[in-house]
Amino acid sequence: MLPLAAAARLQGQARLAGSRVAQRIPSALRVASAPMARTRAFSLFPKAAYASSASSEKVPLSSERYTYLKRDPSFKKLSQEDIDFFNSVLPPSAISQDEGDLEAYNVDWMQKFRGQSKLLLKPSSTEQVSKILKYCNDHKLAVVPQGGNTGLVGGGVPVFDEIILSTANMNSVRSFDEVSGALVCDAGCILEVLDNYLAERGYIMPLDLGAKGSCHIGGNVATNAGGLRLLRYGSLHGTVLGLEVVMADGTILDNLSTLRKDNTGYDLKQLFIGSEGTLGIVTGVSIMAPKRSKAVNVALLGVSSFEQVQAAYKRSRDELSEILSAFEFFDEASINLVKKHLVAGNNDPLESSHPFYVLIETSGSNKDHDDEKLTQYLEGLLTDEIVQDGVVAQDTTQFKNLWSIREGIPEACSKTGPVYKYDLSIPVPVFYDMVEDMRARLNEAGVIGEDKDVEAVVGFGHIGDGNLHLNIASKRYSDEVAKVIEPYVYEWTAKHAGSISSEHGLGVFKSPYLHYSKSSTMIDMMRRIKKMMDPQGIMNPYKYLPEEKK
């Protein structure tokens, strides 16, 4: 362990340097112990908010907001015979037609999408799901699968009267192999619960996201959730070992393999990863858990330009390399919103403001080695004036605090009203141009400001994954603002061969824009797959694939 220079400690954190020349601390930065299992605030997804029907009554019906969506008249409307059938499959506690009960399932957590379902089913076994879907398919009843209802594109709530099939009652760990790290569990297990389960056994879930306290692993798989650990452990296409899926006609696809390698036939599970419930319902997940790192460090850096953010990232790949587990960035506008709206902002550990911030996390097996790598890396950044200031967390509280600033941004954005949220994959060199162009565009349109519709345009995200979150925090929805933003944001992204949905998916919100990221040949192939697997089209209709032009 390197000695700690007492002078380097400010505000209880190991300080890099306020001014490089005056305060640089060569080889004297102590990077203090951080706990393996961190606990964060998961207040981002306040399910309880739905209890007050007063607030959610304001959420307009999706069918009124997206007027081009029409109920497919070929879908059957729910009848007493249908209810009787579902009552024969499920116990009374697993069925609800109560409007109050349904409220929290009809409306998404952002209060942006509202469906009109009259029936909520909560099966507790794969067999029950199979019976329900077979019946729905036979009678052409539309179904929307729902996990933790933490999606951002309206994919998990109904649009019209689709039956809501919640995975909430399927929440058991089926098996865990302590040698290989293969975890097999029900789709309705909450991500954080699984992560805690694994923490006790020295393992970690290969994904992590702000919604971990509410989101279901089945929903994570169905939406190919990205999040904060993708940089280190890769996407679910690599870490999911097997799936159990109930197809639209009730067939159970039993592919819950725990093998790391298996080249026997088409890798069917991959089709369901990211299919947002349009091909079938994921009921079971087998996933490869990595070993939990013994040493974790977190640093927050103040940076004066986006070029320097890129330079810091480039170096981190060389110098932190195998221990780098997160490289997140956010801009000054982001932290200003956090400071303004959230308690977390009071804990900003840097002395002055910076145009950009970088949050770096390392995870490794040897604390001394990691500390040394991080110290050398950070000193190099200071020496070469790539960063202007920075702190390294010394204990759990500081660790949580630094992460809470980054994780608090989406919540802070939504504090004054609706947020126009864009989740884009863009080549890193032009990453921030998107934010600046949008800000300039909205300024020019005269819609940003104290008494204007838009409060702030903020950019943050996962530099390591080329994933920008562009959030436009506003006080109210406005067609005028929407028209300034769209389709410009999608055209801009398409021009740079980016993706209009990096990790959030398509849902009802982005399906009309799919052609900005996929060719008509690709979309045609997707339609054929959908038609083959769900010929009646009962699985999560009105979403994902754009309406076919007739």
Footprint (CB under 8 A) of a second copy, residues 168-197: 177, 179-180
* Candidate list 44, 211, 344, 506; residue touching a second copy; CB under 8 A: 506
**Minimum distance from CB of 291 to a second copy (Å)?**
5
| 522 near a second copy (CB under 8 A) | yes
Give the number of other CB atoms < 10 A from CB of residue 261: 6
Q: Rounded to an integer, what distance in angstroms lies between the CA atom of residue 529 and that of residue 510? A: 19
Q: Rounded to an integer, what distance in angstroms lies between the CA atom of residue 460 and that of residue 528? A: 36
* Candidate list 111, 125, 196, 257; residue touching a second copy; CB under 8 A: 257
**For a second copy, which stretch binds (CB under 8 A), given 19-27, 37-45, 48-56, 510-518?**
510-518
| 535 near a second copy (CB under 8 A) | no
Q: How many positions of this chain bind a second copy (CB under 8 A)?
A: 87
* Candidate list 74, 521, 549, 550; residue touching a second copy; CB under 8 A: 521
User: Which of 261/550 has CB closer to a second copy?
Assistant: 261
Q: Rounded to an integer, what distance in angstroms lies between the CA atom of residue 169 and that of residue 437? A: 46
Residue pair 350/425 in contact (Cβ under 8 Å)? The answer is: no
The HSE-up count of residue 176 (CA atoms within 13 Å, CB side) is 17
**Minimum distance from CB of 497 to a second copy (Å)?**
7
Residue carrying the six token digits 């930065």 = 29
User: Which of 441/518 has CB closer to a second copy?
Assistant: 518
Please enumerate in sequence order all residues whose Cβ is within 8 A of that of 374, keeping only pairs 6 or more positions apart, or say none.
31, 297, 299, 320, 323, 360, 362, 392
Phi first, then psi: what are they for 144, rounded to 5°?
-120, 120
**For a second copy, which stretch binds (CB under 8 A), given 109-117, 121-129, 184-192, 518-526?**
518-526
State the Rg of the chain over Cα.
24
Please work out, in degrees rounded to the nearest 5, the angle formed at the alpha carbon of residue 424 by the alpha carbons of 423 and 428: 135
**Minimum distance from CB of 531 to a second copy (Å)?**
9
**Minimum distance from CB of 54 to a second copy (Å)?**
34
* Candidate list 145, 364, 459, 541; residue touching a second copy; CB under 8 A: 364
* Candidate list 349, 498, 537, 541; residue touching a second copy; CB under 8 A: 498
Q: Rounded to an integer, what distance in angstroms lies between the CA atom of residue 150 and that of residue 104? A: 11
User: Which of 348/503 has CB closer to a second copy?
Assistant: 503
* Candidate list 132, 211, 514, 538; residue touching a second copy; CB under 8 A: 514
Contact track, a second copy, 128-167, x by CB under 8 A: ----------------------------------------
User: Which of 117/511 has CB closer to a second copy?
Assistant: 511
Reference 274, options 469, 498, 506, 499; nearest CA is 506
Footprint (CB under 8 A) of a second copy, residues 458-497: 465-467, 497
Q: Exposed, middle or buried: residue 321 (CB in 10 Å: 0-12, 13-18, 19+)?
A: exposed
Q: Rounded to an integer, what distance in angstroms lies between the CA atom of residue 547 and that of residue 155? A: 15
Q: Rounded to an integer, what distance in angstroms lies between the CA atom of residue 115 and that of residue 98? A: 14
User: Which of 455/465 has CB closer to a second copy?
Assistant: 465
**Minimum distance from CB of 57 to a second copy (Å)?**
31
| 238 near a second copy (CB under 8 A) | yes
| 271 near a second copy (CB under 8 A) | yes
The residues pairing with 389 across neighbouring beta strands, listed in sequence order, are 302
| 36 near a second copy (CB under 8 A) | no
User: Which of 417/546 has CB closer to a second copy?
Assistant: 546
**Minimum distance from CB of 297 to a second copy (Å)?**
14
Reference 485, options 544, 525, 444; nearest CA is 444
| 277 near a second copy (CB under 8 A) | no
| 263 near a second copy (CB under 8 A) | yes
- From residue 427, alpha-carbon distances to 463, 493, 495 in Å are 10, 10, 11
* Candidate list 373, 406, 421, 439; residue touching a second copy; CB under 8 A: 373
| 274 near a second copy (CB under 8 A) | yes
**Minimum distance from CB of 282 to a second copy (Å)?**
14
**Minimum distance from CB of 542 to a second copy (Å)?**
16
Footprint (CB under 8 A) of a second copy, residues 91-120: none
**Minimum distance from CB of 271 to a second copy (Å)?**
6
Q: Rounded to an integer, what distance in angstroms lies between the CA atom of residue 249 and that of residue 247? A: 5
- From residue 26, alpha-carbon distances to 298, 322, 385, 478, 481 in Å are 19, 24, 14, 52, 50
Q: Rounded to an integer, what distance in angstroms lies between the CA atom of residue 382 and that of residue 402? A: 20
| 512 near a second copy (CB under 8 A) | no
**For a second copy, which stretch binds (CB under 8 A), given 35-43, 63-71, 398-406, 504-512?**
504-512
Output b/e per residue, 453-473; b: 16+ Cβ within 10 A: bbbbbbbbbbbbbbbbbbbbb
* Candidate list 117, 310, 388, 398; residue touching a second copy; CB under 8 A: 310
Residue carrying the six token digits 């990232």 = 313
Q: Exposed, middle or buried: residue 319 (CB in 10 Å: 0-12, 13-18, 19+)?
A: middle
Contact track, a second copy, 409-438, x by CB under 8 A: ----------------x-xxx---------
Contact track, a second copy, 342-361, x by CB under 8 A: --------------------
